[in-house]
Amino acid sequence: MNAAAEGSEGTPLLEVSEVTLRFGGVTALSNVSFDVREGELFSIIGPNGAGKTSIFNCLNAVYRPQEGHIRLDGVELIGKRPSTTANMGVARTFQNLALFRNLDVIDNLMLGRHHLMRTGFLKGMLWAGWAKREEIRNRVRCDEIAETLKLTPYRRMPVGILPYGVQKRIEIGRALAMEPRLLLLDEPVAGMNLDESEDMARAICQINGELGVTMILVEHDMHLVMDIADRVLALDFGVPIALGPADAIRNDPRVIEAYLGQLSDVEPHDIAPHSLEPTDMEPSDMEPRP
């Protein structure tokens, strides 16, 4: 755990308490509770359809749970609009890329600054005075984010021609441009090769460790999760089955059974990262829709 997380152990930034989410007769989340401390890198794992993306959708107010509470720094998030949670400091990436392929890297990052800018449409069109100064100031900040994520060589290139691993870093950069207090990363290394995954892992650790951004990571790559996460929550069919430090979760019989289906002839150290790779179907495709 990094120093920021250790120093704020008694004051969670995010508190999720007994959250239950239903769609008709289907229960997507059942009595889910956990907290995330300031500066912590928290991870949520589970097989496909476990409810990981549903939790993210609840955290940024896309879904509204029927029961429970979600509080950011003591303020209730349930019932608020996604735009409100964004203004409160909750930023998110998605499993699938949602970039503007014809825009360059800096313009894509600038989209994350939209809620921080106060210039109206007409003044922005004239691009003079305050509007010009505000635009320049925010572009400077996007250049700093590009440098942090090693995107500077691509800054003026259309994102559509860039490699997949670079585009995934741009996705994180756009979320980081929102100046979040809580950053939700939904499968950031999905589809990457080993070198790209290692680059992404370094970027995540840098954002968390050097910038002090609190993170929740959903990821199928168990090698990555066990290497970088401070604590891990394991879900199975929307039900929490284990919560604790990464090493404890790695050896938890319930987690092994959830992934492999049975415990016979399986030891915790037998679980290799490739054993836990997702199927071709995305978790979001398997979870119920409102």
Per-residue pLDDT of the chain (290 residues; tens, 9 = 90+): 554 455 445 579 999 999 999 999 899 999 999 999 999 999 999 988 899 999 999 999 999 999 999 999 999 999 999 999 999 999 999 888 889 999 999 999 999 988 877 776 666 666 666 677 888 898 999 999 999 999 999 999 999 999 999 999 999 999 999 999 999 999 999 888 888 899 999 999 999 999 999 999 999 888 899 999 999 999 999 999 999 999 899 888 888 888 766 444 444 444 444 334 333 334 344 344 34
- Residue 57 to residue 53: CA distance in whole angstroms: 6
Within a domain: residue 95? no
Within a domain: residue 110? yes
Give, in order, the Cα–Cα distances in Å from 212 to each of 7, 34, 40: 12, 20, 8
Q: How many domains does the chain have?
A: 2
Within a domain: residue 96? no
- Do 137 and 236 lie in a common domain? no
Strands 239-245 and 231-236 turn out to be antiparallel
- Do 34 and 66 lie in a common domain? yes
> Of 177, 212, 230, which residue constitutes the final position of a domain?
177
Q: Give which of 90, 50, 53 is closest to 70, Cα–Cα.
A: 90
The answer to pTM > 0.75 is: yes
- Do 26 and 107 lie in a common domain? no
Q: Assess contact for 53 and 218: CB atoms under 8 A.
A: yes
- Do 201 and 71 lie in a common domain? yes
Give, in order, the Cα–Cα distances in Å from 62 to each of 49, 88, 239: 18, 15, 20
- Do 32 and 83 lie in a common domain? yes
Q: What are phi and psi of 71, to 5 degrees?
A: -120, 130
State residue 121's pLDDT score: 61
State residue 136's pLDDT score: 84
pLDDT in tens, 117-137: 777 666 666 666 667 788 889
- Do 81 and 106 lie in a common domain? no
- Do 155 and 241 lie in a common domain? no
Task: Print the domain residue range for 85.
Answer: 3-89+180-286
- Do 84 and 184 lie in a common domain? yes
